[in-house]
């Protein structure tokens, strides 16, 4: 299963969500399909995409938040699974692309290549819904179900260790950050229009 095909298969469903991605291939591939103002790409701070998604989800219970994580990033912040499980925001879907590799720095294998089971860890932390998928069909079904579930979900998607040729895109980090925060604000004001003064 290719990560970019996974992203294409759920791209339409991401339109209504707030999306936080990790750096590297995930960010570059999602942008290659098409950037949207409700997508925030955390181009560093490995491990903190899930924490960012948790902060957004807790503060905006009326929004659906999707985190596009990776095995290398999640392994750097496994405690995040326990913190997410502790608060169980119903509006958070955590997708982990597990290519068993630190692809962007030369493809060195991560611990998941040696048997570390991220779904097992998520489950043992107390994430209410966790699953591992290995083909595109199962992936799209798992994501659709998670988005409809009204319960915190972690989906481990086993993907090939392949990615784009380059990781730098023409969207600058600050442009993305301010566009995203403005988008969040606009969505909130559309839900609750300000009273005329």
Partner 1 sequence: MPVSENNSRLIYQALKACGVRLLSALPETWLVHLIRMAEDDPEMLLVRLAKEEEGVGISAGAHLAGVKSAMLMQNHGFLAAINGIVSFAHLYKIPLLMLISYRGTFGERDPWQTEGGNVTEPLLRALGIPYLFLADPVTAEKRIRQAQTLAESSLQPVALLLMRDLMWEE
By beta-carbon proximity to partner 1, the closer residue of 22 and 133 is: 22
Using rule CB under 8 A, residue 104 touches partner 1: no
Strands 129-133 and 92-98: what pairing?
A: unpaired
Sheet holding 18-21, edge to edge: 39-41, 18-21, 65-70, 92-98, 153-158, 129-133
**CA-based radius of gyration for the chain:** 16
How far apart, in whole angstroms, are the C-alpha atoms of residue 15 and residue 22?
18
| Cβ atoms of residues 16 and 39 within 8 Å | no
User: Is residue 97 close enough to count as binding partner 1 by CB under 8 A?
Assistant: no
54 touching partner 1, by CB under 8 A: yes
Nearer to partner 1, 32 or 83 (CB): 83
Q: How many amino acids of this chain bind partner 1 (CB under 8 A)?
A: 35
Site map for partner 1, 168-187, x if CB under 8 A?
-----xx--x--xx--xx--
Residue 127 binds partner 1 (CB under 8 A): no
- Return the HEC string of 72-117: HHHHHCCHHHHHHHHHCCCCEEEEEEECCEEHHHCCEECHHHHCCC
Which range in 35-43, 98-106, 126-134, 145-153 contacts partner 1 by CB under 8 A?
A: 35-43
Q: Which of 2, 9, 77, 140 binds partner 1 (CB under 8 A)?
A: 77
Interaction between residue 48 and partner 1 (CB under 8 A): yes
- For partner 1, the binding residue among 21, 39, 47, 147 (CB under 8 A) is 47
Rounded to whole angstroms, how far apart are CA atoms 22 and 25?
8
Q: Does 42 bind partner 1 (CB under 8 A)?
A: yes
Give the CA-trace dihedral at 101, 103, 108, 111, to 10 degrees: -20
Nearer to partner 1, 32 or 181 (CB): 181
Q: By C-alpha distance, which of 46, 51, 3 is closest to 25?
A: 3
Residues in contact with partner 1 by the rule CB under 8 A: 20, 40, 42-45, 47-60, 77, 79-80, 82-83, 86-87, 173-174, 177, 180-181, 184-185, 188
């Amino acid at each position: 299963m290719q990560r970019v095909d996974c992203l294409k298969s759920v791209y339409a469903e991401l339109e209504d969500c707030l999306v936080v991605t990790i750096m590297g291939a995930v960010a570059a591939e999602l942008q290659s399909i098409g950037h949207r103002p409700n997508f925030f790409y955390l181009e560093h701070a490995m491990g903190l995409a899930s924490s960012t998604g948790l902060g957004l989800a807790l503060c905006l219970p009326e929004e659906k938040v999707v985190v596009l994580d990776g095995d290398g990033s999640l392994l750097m912040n496994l405690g995040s699974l326990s913190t997410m499980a502790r608060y169980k925001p119903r509006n958070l879907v955590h997708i982990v692309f597990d290519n068993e590799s630190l692809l962007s720095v030369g493809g060195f294998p991560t611990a998941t290549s040696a048997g570390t089971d991220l779904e097992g860890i998520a489950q043992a932390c107390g994430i209410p819904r966790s699953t591992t998928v290995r083909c595109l069909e199962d992936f799209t079904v798992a994501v659709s179900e998670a988005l409809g579930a009204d319960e915190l979900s972690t989906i481990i998607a086993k993907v090939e260790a392949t990615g784009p040729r380059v990781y730098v895109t023409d969207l600058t980090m600050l442009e993305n950050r301010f566009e995203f925060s403005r988008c969040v604000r606009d969505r909130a004001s559309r839900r609750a229009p300000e009273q005329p003064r």
